[in-house]
Homo-oligomer: A and B are copies of this chain.
């Protein structure tokens, strides 16, 4: 498909990075920006503003621009919906929404994707359009995880994996076998800031292993929607938290601006390990 990619763009660094990557490959990108959730648009891309109440208008504008492929990139919150503003199309879709909203975030997301697909659009995942965002397994830095770091990584991966059953958590910090923090809805940055405050007092042996930050996808997550992301900010926060390194699940976590991430990790003496799921070393 040669037309522009339509990007339903939310917060965070992913939309800008992804748009640049696609345009560098000769693919045009058009942003669709939800009312109340302004998209970051430093490169001045064409922008279609929309309201959830007027999906009919959005579908029409996307088709007019020649968009057949859509990517959802970046986080948006739940919009406040004013049913009095519904256009005709949205009104016919309302029953689907109402039942999906009761089903929690994952169910709602699937419904939204299904609605766009029902209109004839193809949903592409960010890592599918830009496969380089998912690094191959291996250790990308000069620093290497020790055996103790590998054990801490295995424990953190296990915690994130069991939490999927409660539809929460994509990250954890483990040091010397102890879970120092488990990521909840407020996200990675707040968790790492918390670890920076408490870690020195909470490691069983102050001179022992520093601990690792692990990030992985929720098992069962719809992979058409963003996988978790790390970037240069993650490196800074992990360094501030006094940890030994970063572990991401291979095929499950995107790295934005990878060269710069690795460079900064090297400067900070951190390792960055792209760890295959189920690794038991």
Which residue numbers of A lie inside 8 Å of B, CB to CB? 77-78, 104, 155, 158-159, 161-163, 165-166, 168-169, 172-173, 177-186, 190, 194, 198, 201-202, 204
Contacts and interface: CB of A to CB of B under 8 A. Distances in A.
Nearest to A185: B178
A216 to B, nearest CB: 13
A186 B202 contact: yes
Q: How many copies of this chain sit in the oligomeric assembly? A: 2
Contact of A185 (B163, B186, B202): B202
Contact of A179 (B158, B162, B168): B168
Main secondary structure of the interface of A (DSSP, over half): mixed
Given A172-B184, A186-B202, 13 more contacts: A77-B204, A104-B177, A155-B166, A158-B166, A162-B162, A162-B165, A163-B163, A166-B179, A178-B184, A179-B185, A182-B182, A182-B183, A190-B202
29 contacts: A77-B204, A78-B204, A104-B177, A155-B166, A159-B163, A159-B168, A161-B166, A162-B163, A162-B166, A163-B163, A163-B182, A168-B179, A168-B182, A169-B179, A169-B182, A172-B184, A178-B184, A179-B184, A180-B184, A180-B185, A180-B186, A181-B186, A182-B182, A182-B184, A185-B202, A186-B198, A186-B201, A190-B202, A194-B194
A78 B182 CA distance: 23
Nearest to A177: B104
A109 to B, nearest CB: 15
Contacts of A172: 184
A179 B190 CA distance: 13
A77 B204 CA distance: 8
Nearest to A104: B177
A87 to B, nearest CB: 26
A183 B194 CA distance: 12
B185 A184 contact: no
Contacts of A155: 166
B186 A184 contact: no
Nearest to A202: B186
Contact of A181 (B163, B165, B177, B184): B184
Contacts of A186: 180-181, 198, 201-202
A183 B178 CA distance: 12
Contacts of A173: 184
A245 to B, nearest CB: 19
Nearest to A173: B184
A272 B22 CA distance: 54
